[in-house]
Amino acid sequence: MEKENQNQNQNQHHPQQAPKQPKERKKGELILFGEVISAKADKTISVSVERIFQHPVYKKIVRKKRKYLVHDEHNRCKPGDSVRIKLVRPISRRKRWLLVDIVSTAPAKDKVVSENEVIP
């Protein structure tokens, strides 16, 4: 009887909490958003990431772009896609980024017909 009371008292002081939802991003994990520039190499894409910040001295808004080589295991991306990438262990000499997901795909370009081409 006493043990049951003790257990009830302990439960009152330490109520069970609902399991926490897994976070989308781990602490220290670096995730960037950019646009695919090139997808010519096998399992590799070039992604341009634009950073906008205010200049510390002149207070002007500055845009800087940086190009990263990203590992795309299944060759899913094409130029113009908006993607999310994350920093991982080195994959090759210049590749340290991994494709997380494709946020939006590039609009399909219509084929341009030149004057010399014959349309069937």
Residue 90 lies in a domain: yes
Kindly give, in sequence order, each residue whose CB lies less than 8 Å from that of residue 88, ignoring residues fewer than 6 positions away: 71, 96, 97, 98
At residue 88, the 3 state secondary structure works out as coil
Q: Kindly list the distances between the CA atom of residue 78 and the CA atoms of 31, 44, 92, 103, 110, in Å, as whole numbers in the listed order.
A: 20, 11, 21, 12, 15
Residue 117 lies in a domain: no
> Letter for the amino acid at 102?
I
| Closest C-alpha among 60, 57, 36 to residue 48 | 36
Residue 89 lies in a domain: yes
Residue 20 lies in a domain: no
Residue 16 lies in a domain: no
Per-residue confidence (pLDDT) for residue 108, from 0 to 100: 81
pLDDT in tens, the chain (120 residues): 555 555 555 555 555 554 544 456 677 889 999 999 999 999 999 999 999 999 999 999 999 999 999 999 999 999 999 999 999 999 999 999 999 999 999 888 766 666 676 666
Domain, as residue range, for 84: 25-104
Task: Please report, for the domain that includes residue 37, its CATH number.
Answer: 2.40.50.140
Residue 15 lies in a domain: no
Residue 12 lies in a domain: no
